[in-house]
Structure 1
């Protein structure tokens, strides 16, 4: 295909998703072969459609911005995205140039389908036969505890309600597929799928790193100095952890397998990070004992070993 995709759609390189969609709808109506009988209109329509497919998908757009027109020939292991091409195209990288078919994904991820674009004026399919519905995407916001436990949840997307089964231990960015719940197809073609992208909300206590969880563990000076078995909070409830004698703030204690669960690869770990706390207000007896300790101890944490 000749020309920069941004130029084809007449947009800037920092265009938003909405601006890409608006430009596409405008040009697709203008150059659709059922409307525009100019000999070059069909080719122009194909160019507009191809440019839209590339730029409307965030991952594909990222690869295009990085590699330019060669992005399809760059090995996929350069990026996190796995799998060549995307729905709605065939023959990319084949000898003799690019072939385009009007198939799955026509209309992209923006949430509209061919009926929305051309309406009754084009008879629904625009003369191209049955067109499967577009896959759609929405975010699913979860607390750390909900992501840890999983289970069923009622959600509403686009005015429709769904019962979603959340696998225990889902991680931020993971996708949950609802088959057949995406954009409707045209010409008796099947609908697309709806993908829910998990977004885990920040938590005041738990910090996530993949499947590992870190939680702050407050301990008293005497527990840190003498050692103790104390309770620690986890997303699944309370657990017990042994604080070794002589523990200082920042020491991390690992609870193996107490992180985010995962049947296939094994659960992550939970790390209890010690934080030594002192009483905000000392009683007379506590002050007396601390003064005795200060007089008896030779420990100086600021002294270089």
Structure 2
């Protein structure tokens, strides 16, 4: 699923996956602190850029807008590295950088929960568009352990128990059998000693620089749009069912159902129009599914 890189400057985007308090930022700080010559490390923590979450529609809209801005920032960093092998000064203010001037390999840690496949797929697509490598590190953590760790955090860093428990239900573990693009994943237990695993982690990360996604080749023509729409419709209906299952208030569930059904119809209409003008792929499904999340 990957092709080797022949560029002198190499970029690898690493999506960190896990519940709040699973150890993603701890892992990032550990990598940043290592005195090793293997690669430069750029740490982008989403929490530094995202607003505090609440349940209002305006807050949800703002949350999605900020995620899109973060994705644009990551894209800018990747392009800057590909063109100049360095990070722009104004970008350095928003990221942590461990720089090795004798090395042209850059590892970008995307420190976020990334609990949906669709969230990670956006990063994978970004890598495919920029001919950069892609990897995932899943910090596997039991919900109860995450809750205990979260309760020990300072008030301003603590996530509400309700949100954390909801994430525990929604978190979609990496599964390369269903999502082929997740095959380059390293699973790290939340209680594992990072220093004990150091050699394995560094080997995985160093090897990941060669894991560049192939250009999109599996495309479909307008003759198969009807079949594609049917597949997408089933996927969206399933996602709507999952979202509504988590809503206990019947009145809110009814309002949310109407909104999601309208959104589903809007997405299907958009895909139908797109299929009439250009080649589309089932790889795009993750992006459309994300719009409902």
Q: Does the pair score TM above 0.5?
A: no
Q: Which has the larger radius of gyration?
A: 1
TM-score by length of 1: 0.28
Higher relative contact order, chain-length normalized (CA < 8 Å, sep 6+): 2
